[in-house]
Every structure is written in C-alpha cells, then in structure tokens.
Chains A and B, each alone.
Chain A
Amino acid sequence: MIENRPWLTVFAHAVLILGIAVIAFPLWVTFVASTLTLDEIISVPMPLVPGSHLWENYAQALTSGTEAGAAAPVGRMMLNSLVMALAIATGKIAISIIASFAIVYFRFPLRNFFFWMIFITLMLPVEVRIIPTFKVVSDLGMIDSYVGLTLPLIASATATFLFRQFFLTVPDELAEAARIDGAGPLRFFWDVLLPLSKTSMAALFVIQFIYGWNQYLWPLLITTQENMYTAVIGIKRMITSGDALTEWNLVMATAMLAMLPPVAVVVLMQRWFVRGLVETEK
C-alpha cells in the first residue's frame, strides 16, 4: 500500500478476519460436533466448545460405522477413496504426458486434428457424458470395481494441454542434442523430458488428487456395495432418511476424516505445487 493510513489497515484486517471467520466457522462446528455425543448435538443451542467424546467418535466411525445408516467402517471408505484418488491422479498424469509427448515431438497425419479433438473434450464435464459412460462401464461388468471407479475419469484434456504447453517451451536444441548423443525418442522422454516435467507433474498431482478424492456423482452411480463406497459417498449414506436418527457426531467425525488426506497432500506438496505453477527450469 502506498498510502499509510491506519484506518485503512484496520479496515483491511477486518475484512480479512471476517472472510476467514466465514470460511472457518463451519469447519469449527464440524470439529466440535465430532467431539460431542448425539444428545449434546441435538440439544438447542448446540455447544460451540469441543466435548469429551473425540476419541470414541473417531474410533467408532473408523472401525464400525454408524448403526442406523450405512454400516461400512470409514476406514474402508477412506481406503477406497485413497485408491481412487491415487489411481486417477497417477493415471491422468501418465496418460496425458505420453499423449502430449506424441503430439509435440512426432509428425503424424492428422496430428493437429487429434490435438483439437482432445482439446474440445475440455469443454465436456463428466456429467454430460455420464449416462453413456455408465452404460459402457456396466456392460463391461466393471460396476463395484476399482477399475470402473477410476478408468473413465483418467483421460484428461486439461493435463494433456498443460504438458503440451510445457513441452513447447523446451528448446528444440535439447531434443537435437539428445539425438546426436544417440538417445532415441523414448530414451529422450525418459532421461530428459520426465525429469524436466517433475514440478509440473507435482502440481498436477495435487490438483488431480483432490479432484479424484472429491468425486461424488460418479462413485454414487458406480458403487452399490458398501465395501466399495468412497468417503464422500459414505458421508451421504450415513445421513438416514425417514425415522431413524442420524448419528451426527459420527457423520461429522467422518467428514473431518475425509478432509484430512487432501489437506495433507496440499500441505506436504505445497512447495512443489507452487514451483510447478510458477517456475520453469530450463
């Protein structure tokens, strides 16, 4: 700020604090609820200081699930989510980096056509093609399997585009130097391009891990058995409809647990993530 006026500083901080409060308050309520008993939660008003049942609630959620709603333990759901998010993130990176390599470094007929075909699919969200995709996956007998859960989400125009843009910034001379050194296309890809793409891959991994973890509609359609539920679906299934009482303390504990892995990925990979987005190492 060029002007140094105290009230401006106060005002700016007030806005920031308000913003944080708006975002953080629901999280706080979720955390508090996950430490109370069900009776304490449904009393009005609900207490806003943590209770004493944190350990019990989390243990019950992780190992046995709710009694009234879905009975699958959250531990299993977290594992499913983890498998799905990892498979989607690594699958997307692997497929799209190879696709970009082909598009940037090889001359083949209709090269641009193929690139634009990939690019156009950027505009189609999963939901638009969800019914035909479901039909295909169910005909292939992949309902309730990890393959069915992840494979249709792996193709990624965004990642392909990102890697293409990155490869275009790699000087041609590098490929030529490698050719003179005797490195074939795959050797060049493996020894030169992959190491140079490390930071981009890390950034993409963070984005795609969270994308995979947070998938809702697709797992909802493709999983019918409780032992294949992902954490996000699990939360939804725990909330009972009808007469049975929803065990909000367990639901909230599950929600907190479901938040942890994406947070962990962001925190642990933060440094790489930022470097991948801002730095080009050439």
Chain B
Amino acid sequence: MAQVIFRGVRKSFGNAPVIHGFDMDVRDGEFVVIVGPSGCGKSTLLRMVAGLEAISDGEIAIGERVVNRLEPKDRDIAMVFQNYALYPHMNVEGNMAYGLKIRGLPQAEIDARVARAAQILELSPLLKRKPRELSGGQRQRVAMGRAIVRKPAVFLFDEPLSNLDAKLRVQMRAELQDLHRRLQTTSLYVTHDQVEAMTLAQRMVVMNGGRAEQIGAPLEVYKKPASTFVAGFIGSPPMNLIPAGKDGREVLLGVRPEHLQPCAEGEAKMTVNVDLVEPLGSDTLVYGHTGDNGDGARVAVRLHQSFAAQTGRLPVRFDPAHEHLFDKATGLRIED
C-alpha cells in the first residue's frame, strides 16, 4: 500500500507534447479514476506510472520512492490491460503464478496466493483452463487475479472493462468496488466511460488534451464542473450550455437536462422547440433548441414523466441553485 505522487509530470513523443504538466497526490488506499476522451493522454499517464513509458519531465513517486528510473518490476505495481494480455499457452494457474515464479517465491507460498486469489475471484474451478477456453468476464477476472497475487502497492487498470458487453460491465464494476473495499489497495483506473468513473471513483481526474481539467470527488465534479469541457463530459446527456450575457460579459449558462422542469408558459425561463423525443421507460429525453429561427442553442431535457407530444413547444424552468456560469472565451467556471 502506498501513495502515488505526481510532480509536474510531462510527456512528449518526439516533439509532440502529450502531457503538459500533471500534479496530484493519490492517497494511500484511494481509488482514483482518470477519465477523458481518447487521445487525452490518460493511458500515457498510467503507463508512465507502470514504467512502460519514460517520463519526459517531472517525477512520479510511489510510496516514498521516486520511480522515474525504476524498471516496471521494481515499482511494486500490477497492471490490468484492456485486452487482458493473458499468456495464451499457460493455464489460469500458470498465468497468475508466472510473476511470482520469476520473483523466486517458494512454491508453497505461490500456491497459497494463487488459491486465495482464485477463491476471491471465484476462479477455483477454472484453474486448469487455458485463456481461450474462458469467457470475456472470466479472462478479465484472471487478469485481476494476476494483479492480486503480487500484493502490489498500487493497482493500475487500463480500460479493463471496455471489451465486455454492457451487462457484464455493470457486474464487473460492482465486483471491482467490492474488491477494492476488501483489499484497500491504492488504485489508478483509466476509462473513457463517465459512468464507470462516477460509480467507481473516490476521486476522479477529468483529462482533456494532456491536462487535468478537474480533480475531485465524483459528485463534486458533477455539481461544480470546472469548465465547459467537464460539464459536457460528465453527465448524460451532457449539460446544456446556452449563450447569455451577465454584467456586460459574454457567458455560457449551464443547466443539466435533469434540472429542467416543465412549467406553465408564464413562469418559464426558456422555451424549447422540441425536435426529438426518446422515451426510456423510467424517464424521457427530449431534445430541442431555443429560439424560433433555428439559430438557438441545442437543449436536452430529462423528464420524469412521459411526454406525449412528438414536437411542439415545451416551456421549462429551473432552480437558480442548479445554474452554472462559464466564461465564453476560456470555458472556465465563473465562481459565484
């Protein structure tokens, strides 16, 4: 168990900068999710912690040690890959035991650790199977088992659930949470899926273009997005951003779709011209635009009752507490 400290970490491939200075203290035992669109540098950041990419500038410390110059095997980490990267010719037991064998642990200790991990992950009946004889979810579990048996200071997850189907993903998400609760190991988890980020993270890092746009607890990020990028990335459908003026300044007014409520024309803050209605059963998504001549902002509304009309005008209001203001030029949040 250990903390992970980033100090001005930068990375460039040749002349192309990918990470523009990243600072963060990951606390001991914390589960941190790094989320962002593809190409934002989140995987690169994780691979620098693992030691698979060199650190161009700055330093990364795991526990008390700066690990910049250490080989992956000496960093006391374990990594779970998106495509699992199981050794195809070894059975489940062999896959989990391989790293321990190389480290020269006594066979009895290896057997005990593998058996324990297999028990935690419900892999015990599958120990003699080859990876190709396993389902996607089982392979994922073996990959986690391979990480667990090493008893590392830090777990690194690189989009571990994105090769699974939607249902399995939800199930594995719960298992991951359970696992972390049990083992209390510091974990860094990279994903592009904001739902995974919201549900798993104790703190999340929203990355964009090689920068951390915001670091914070999921609900804090949801309630107070630091920029229009975060506002658009976290939450689905994304936050509505409507150009407005305030104190002679051009701003974007942000309101989440779930905070818009239909109301009478008289008390409406704005009126949505409905383009599309998506009934989801539990609630209904209404997409439309403001303004009458088609040049207004696009707006989504999440209604908790069914909305019969396909098109038409939908007057809505919102609680000023749910209003967010962003500078139009920089996209940054204007604190109130």
- Give the complex CA separation of A191 and B88 in angstroms: 11
On chain B, the residues within 8 Å of A191 by CB distance are: 87, 98
On chain A, the residues within 8 Å of B99 by CB distance are: 180-182
- Is the beta-carbon distance between B89 and A177 smaller than 8 angstroms? no
On chain B, the residues within 8 Å of A183 by CB distance are: 98, 102
- Is the beta-carbon distance between B103 and A177 smaller than 8 angstroms? no
Residue A171 is within 8 A (CB to CB) of chain B in the complex: yes
Residue A271 is within 8 A (CB to CB) of chain B in the complex: no
Which of B78, B79, B103, B146 gathers most chain A CB within 10 Å? B79
Tell me what chain A mostly uses at the interface: helix, strand, loop, or mixed. helix
Residue B181 is within 8 A (CB to CB) of chain A in the complex: no
- Is the beta-carbon distance between B73 and A179 smaller than 8 angstroms? yes
Contacts A176-B52, A180-B77 hold; do A187 and B102 have CB atoms under 8 A apart? Answer: yes
- Is the beta-carbon distance between B73 and A173 smaller than 8 angstroms? no
Q: Which of B50, B89, B132 has a CB less than 8 Å from the CB of A180?
A: B50
Write the nearest CB–CB distance from A199 to chain B, whole angstroms: 11
On chain A, the residues within 8 Å of B88 by CB distance are: 196, 281-282
On chain B, the residues within 8 Å of A173 by CB distance are: 81-83, 85
- Is the beta-carbon distance between A180 and B79 smaller than 8 angstroms? yes
- Give the complex CA separation of A187 and B99 in angstroms: 11
Contacts A176-B52, A281-B132 hold; do A182 and B103 have CB atoms under 8 A apart? Answer: yes
On chain A, the residues within 8 Å of B77 by CB distance are: 180
Write the nearest CB–CB distance from B109 to chain A, whole angstroms: 16
Residue A192 is within 8 A (CB to CB) of chain B in the complex: yes
Q: Which of B72, B86, B98 has a CB less than 8 Å from the CB of A179?
A: B72
Residue A174 is within 8 A (CB to CB) of chain B in the complex: yes
Write the nearest CB–CB distance from B144 to chain A, whole angstroms: 13
Write the nearest CB–CB distance from B108 to chain A, whole angstroms: 20
Residue A125 is within 8 A (CB to CB) of chain B in the complex: no
- Give the complex CA separation of A182 and B72 in angstroms: 7
- Is the beta-carbon distance between B87 and A192 smaller than 8 angstroms? yes
> Which chain A residues numbered 162 to 213 have a C-beta less than 8 Å away from chain B?
171, 173-174, 176-183, 187, 191-192, 195-196
Write the nearest CB–CB distance from B191 to chain A, whole angstroms: 17
- Give the complex CA separation of A129 and B271 in angstroms: 85
Q: Which of A171, A176, A181 has a CB less than 8 Å from the CB of B102?
A: A181
- Is the beta-carbon distance between A174 and B87 smaller than 8 angstroms? yes
Contacts A183-B102, A187-B102 hold; do A177 and B85 have CB atoms under 8 A apart? Answer: yes
Write the nearest CB–CB distance from A28 to chain B, whole angstroms: 44
On chain A, the residues within 8 Å of B89 by CB distance are: 192, 195-196, 281
On chain B, the residues within 8 Å of A174 by CB distance are: 85, 87
Interface magnitude class on chain A: 10 to 19
- Give the complex CA separation of A130 and B71 in angstroms: 48
Q: Which of B73, B85, B98 has a CB less than 8 Å from the CB of A171?
A: B85
On chain A, the residues within 8 Å of B98 by CB distance are: 181, 183, 191
- Give the complex CA separation of A173 and B52 in angstroms: 10
- Give the complex CA separation of A236 and B215 in angstroms: 82
- Give the complex CA separation of A192 and B79 in angstroms: 18
Write the nearest CB–CB distance from B51 to chain A, whole angstroms: 8
On chain B, the residues within 8 Å of A177 by CB distance are: 79, 81, 85-87, 146
On chain A, the residues within 8 Å of B78 by CB distance are: 180
On chain A, the residues within 8 Å of B83 by CB distance are: 171, 173
- Give the complex CA separation of A192 and B72 in angstroms: 18
- Give the complex CA separation of A176 and B99 in angstroms: 12
On chain A, the residues within 8 Å of B79 by CB distance are: 176-177, 180
- Is the beta-carbon distance between B87 and A180 smaller than 8 angstroms? no
Q: Which of A182, A195, A196, A282 has a CB less than 8 Å from the CB of B73?
A: A182
Write the nearest CB–CB distance from B120 to chain A, whole angstroms: 20
- Is the beta-carbon distance between B102 and A180 smaller than 8 angstroms? no
> Which chain B residues numbered 198 to 223 have a C-beta less than 8 Å away from chain A?
none
- Is the beta-carbon distance between A179 and B52 smaller than 8 angstroms? yes
> Which chain B residues numbered 78 to 131 have a C-beta less than 8 Å away from chain A?
78-79, 81-83, 85-89, 98-99, 102-103
On chain A, the residues within 8 Å of B71 by CB distance are: 179
Chain B residue nearest to A172 in the complex (CB):
B85
Chain A residue nearest to B52 in the complex (CB):
A176
Write the nearest CB–CB distance from A282 to chain B, whole angstroms: 5
- Is the beta-carbon distance between A176 and B87 smaller than 8 angstroms? no
On chain B, the residues within 8 Å of A176 by CB distance are: 50, 52, 72, 79, 81, 85
Chain B residue nearest to A170 in the complex (CB):
B88
- Give the complex CA separation of A282 and B77 in angstroms: 25
> Which chain A residues numbered 262 to 282 have a C-beta less than 8 Å away from chain B?
281-282
- Is the beta-carbon distance between A181 and B73 smaller than 8 angstroms? yes
Which of B51, B71, B98, B132 gathers most chain A CB within 10 Å? B98
Chain B residue nearest to A187 in the complex (CB):
B102
On chain A, the residues within 8 Å of B73 by CB distance are: 179-182
- Give the complex CA separation of A179 and B99 in angstroms: 9
Chain A residue nearest to B79 in the complex (CB):
A180
- Give the complex CA separation of A181 and B73 in angstroms: 6
Write the nearest CB–CB distance from A179 to chain B, whole angstroms: 5
> Which chain B residues numbered 146 to 164 have a C-beta less than 8 Å away from chain A?
146
- Give the complex CA separation of A178 and B71 in angstroms: 12
Write the nearest CB–CB distance from A187 to chain B, whole angstroms: 7
What are 14 sample pairs from A and B whose C-beta atoms fall under 8 A apart?
Answer: A173-B81, A176-B52, A177-B81, A179-B71, A180-B72, A180-B77, A180-B99, A181-B146, A187-B102, A191-B87, A191-B98, A196-B88, A281-B89, A282-B88
Given contact pairs A176-B52, A181-B102, a sample of 7 additional A-B residue pairs in the complex whose CB atoms are under 8 Å apart:
A173-B85, A176-B50, A177-B87, A180-B50, A180-B73, A181-B98, A281-B88
Rank and list the top 3 A-B pairs by shortest CB-CB distance, nearest first. A181-B99, A182-B73, A173-B85
